Amino acid sequence: MPNEQRKAYLAALGFSLIIGFSFLASKIALRSASPADILSYRFFFAFFALLLVLLLRPSRLGLHKKDLLRILPLSLFYPLGFFSLQLLGLQKVSSAQAAIIQASIPFLTLVLATVFLKEKSSGRQRFFMALSLSGVLLIALWTQKGKIAESPWGMVLLFLSAIASASNMVLIRKFSRRYSAFSLAALAIFSGFLVFGAASLGEHLYQGTLASYFSPLQDWPFLLSVIFLGIFSTLGTALLSNYALTRMEASRMSIFQHLSTVISILAGILFLDETLSPVQVLGAVLIVAGVMGTQKRTRSFGADPAGSLKKD
C-alpha cells in the first residue's frame, strides 16, 4: 500500500475513533446545557484552536476573497445544514431512529459521488457497504425494539441532514483538488462559530437568561466535554476527514462513519457502565467486516491518483 494511501486510512480511522467518543462527550455535556448551547461552545473552542494554529503558522490558510466566495457553499452543507437539521430532527425522534437515518450517509455519498464525481465502485464493494449498513440497522432497531417514528417530520429533517453530510463529502472531494484540507476545515469552523454562537447568545439575550449561558462552564465534566467536542471532534475530525478525502474516494471515506458506531458502543461500556447485548456484538462484527471489505482496492475504482491532488 502506498504511503499516502496508508496515511489516508489512518486519518479515516482517527476520524472514526473521535466521532465514536464524541457521543460519550455529548451525553456528558447534555447533563448541564441545551443542545443549542453545546453547539455554540463546541464551535467556540474549535475556533479558538484554529486561531492558535493560525498564530503559529499564519501562512497556513492561503485563501483569498475569491476563494472564500467559491467554497462558501460548503458551509451551507456542513456545519450549518448538517447540525441544524440534525438538532431539529433529534428533538422529535429518538437517537436510535436517528442512527437508522444517519446510516444512509454512505449510500447517499456513493450515489452523489457516482453522479457528480464519476467515481465507480465494484459489486463486491457495494456488497460490503450494504453489510456494514445492516450492522448499523441491526443495532439501531434492537435499541428501538421495533418502535416506529413518532414524528415523520423529524425523520424527514434527519434525512435532509444525511443528504447535507453526503453533499459535503462530495464537495470536499471536489474542492480538495484545489484547496488544502486545513483551508476547507477553517472555513467550516469559522461559519459554525459565527452562526451557532450568534444564535445561542441571541436566544439568551431575548429570554433574559444570558447569565445562565456561562454557568455550565463551572462544571468540569461539561467543560472537558465541550473542549473535546470543539478541538478534537470538530477541528480534528474536519482536518482528518478532509485529508482522507484528498487521497481516497468520497464513497470509501463515508463508510468509516459506520465504524464510529462500534467505538461509541465500546465507549459507553467502558465509561458509562452500559451493557453489551449479543445483537450489538453481531452488529459490530458486520460493521467491521463491511468497513474492511469496502476498503480493499479494486481496479474498478476510477478515482484520481493521490499525486494529482493538492496536498497540505
Contact between residue 32 and residue 222 where contact means Cβ atoms under 8 Å apart: yes
Distance from C-alpha of 70 to C-alpha of 191, rounded to nearest angstrom: 14
pLDDT of residue 40: 94
Residue 293 or residue 159, greater confidence: 159
pTM of this structure: 0.75
What percent of the chain clears pLDDT 90, i.e. is strictly above it?
Answer: 16
183 — pLDDT class (breaks 50, 70, 90): confident
* Residue labelled with grid coordinates 459535503: 168
Q: Is the pLDDT of residue 122 over 60?
A: yes
pLDDT of residue 308: 35
The C-alpha cell that represents 131 in the structure block? 453489510
Give residue-wise pLDDT tens across range 40-85: 999 999 999 999 988 887 666 767 777 777 888 788 898 888 888 8
* Residue labelled with grid coordinates 456561562: 214
Distance from C-alpha of 158 to C-alpha of 305, rounded to nearest angstrom: 34
Distance from C-alpha of 282 to C-alpha of 135, rounded to nearest angstrom: 7
The C-alpha cell that represents 104 in the structure block? 444512509
Give residue-wise pLDDT tens across range 243-301: 888 888 777 777 787 777 677 777 777 776 666 678 777 877 877 777 677 666 543 33
Total number of residues shown for the chain: 312
Q: Which domain holds residue 256?
A: 3-308
DSSP line for 194-257: HHHHHHHHHHHHHHT-HHHHHGGGG-HHHHHHHHIIIIIIIIIHHHHHHHHHTTS-HHHHHTHH
**What's the total number of domains in the chain?**
1
Contact between residue 139 and residue 87 where contact means Cβ atoms under 8 Å apart: no
Radius of gyration of the chain (CA): 19
Amino acid letter, residue 293:
G
